[in-house]
Amino acid sequence: MSSFNFSDYASIKNGSYKKLVKAHYKMQKETATDKTDKKEKPVKTQKLDNTDKSGLTKMKSQADELKTSAKAFEKDDLWKQKNGTYDMDKIASAVKSFANEYNDVIDQSAKVSSKDVSMQTGFMKSLSKTMSNSLSKIGVTIGDDGKMSVDENTLKNANAKDVKAMFSGKYSYVSQIGEKASAISSAAARGAGTYSSDGSWSSTLSGMFNDWV
């Protein structure tokens, strides 16, 4: 009984001790909750770009193919004459290939979300519309949708000099389209984060740049 504390006994008996214990645990619970609330919540990753990357990659590829088709008209053997005449079958085949690549670029440009690509494609379509009268004379028609169609029979029977004027030479129609195709390719590359084959710009470098900024 010497260790018995009548003061503690009195506190237990009148309920004061119970109130003290409840207050103690309540304080501990609030402290624990407060610490939980103060824990750093994971930061939501911001979406840097909602552009269709695969679509832009394909856009670049098709623009490059159009550029290649345009450059095909620079080959001397395409315009080599035999007995004073051009090989119109060979030229018509090159024009049809060019038209197909041109239309693929128009189609793909509508599938990607890039103002830069849209603007450059618009320039290309505007150029074709401006030249539509001259093109129609040699069997190449520009439709209301901006796409190109080729009347092979009309093309083969057109004045060879008119055809050559449109599809050969530094300042010809096809040369200017080649330049527009190059611009579309660059625009698509910028949007996709992959610039050119020499590695001057890539998605990896783009990501590193964003981290640095």
pLDDT band at 54 (very low <50, low <70, confident <90, very high): confident
CB 99 within 8 A of CB 140: yes
pLDDT tens profile 114-152: 999 999 999 999 999 999 999 999 999 999 999 999 999
Measure the CA–CA gap between 23 and 19, rounded to whole angstroms. 6
What residue type is 48 in one-letter code?
A: L
φ, ψ for residue 148, nearest 5 deg: -110, 135
Q: Which long-range contacts (CB under 8 A, 24 or more apart) does 75-79 make?
A: 79/164, 79/168
What residue type is 106 in one-letter code?
A: I
pLDDT tens profile 139-185: 999 999 999 999 999 999 999 999 999 999 989 999 999 999 999 99
What residue type is 92 in one-letter code?
A: A
pLDDT tens profile 66-90: 999 999 999 999 999 999 999 999 9
Burial class (CB in 10 A: 0-12, 13-18, 19+), 78: middle
Give the predicted TM-score (pTM) of the model.
0.68
* Average pLDDT, integer, range 189-198: 68
SS3 28: helix
